[in-house]
Amino acid sequence: MVKSLNEVDQIMNEGGAIETFIEARDQGLVRYLGFSAHSEEAAVALLNRFNFDSVLFPLNWVCWYQSNFGPRVIEKAQEKGVAVLALKALAKRKWKKGEERRWPKCWYAPIDSPEEASLALRFTLSLPITAAVSPSHAELLWWACDVAEQFKPLSQEEKTLVVKKSEGLDPIFPQ
């Protein structure tokens, strides 16, 4: 996962990892080249410097509305024709100090209910993405499966509700 422009330079400069990735593709060892990033700046820089096939990036309602985190990556990926795989669709906010953690595998506080999961995942799936990666907790996965099975894009009223519900929450990105 790429977090900084320094890492972008290490990957893309002469002798960087991109050379090995291209060689592996040219030899038929891999078919597609993609990357994961937790920085909008790094993701956009990588998309500008190479014709990747995909980007794995955190896209969720709170980060989108409370820190404007994600729109630039979506825009650049669309411009370049790159598949977008969304992470953290069910993320809600940072854990509060001393807060009991119902979901111990999550380094963030995820959504709290199936209803909130529906709004959160449908927000992410309503973006121009290829797919959303599920969280690791089985219950969260089942909530996500239920949402996906009955998927419908957010209505205008629901979009307004998502913006309102995000207000005052501490987004997990940028870090």
Provide the CATH number for the domain formed by 5-166 in this structure: 3.20.20.100
Query: Is residue 25 pLDDT above 90, yes or no?
Result: yes
CA distances from 40 to 64, 121, 123, 124, 148 (A): 11, 20, 19, 16, 26
CB 122 within 8 A of CB 151: yes
pLDDT in tens, 105-164: 889 999 999 999 999 999 999 999 999 998 888 999 999 999 999 999 999 999 999 999
**φ and ψ at residue 165, rounded to 5 degrees:** -65, -25
How many Cα atoms occupy the beta-carbon half-sphere of 127 within 13 Å?
A: 29
Average pLDDT over residues 1-23: 97
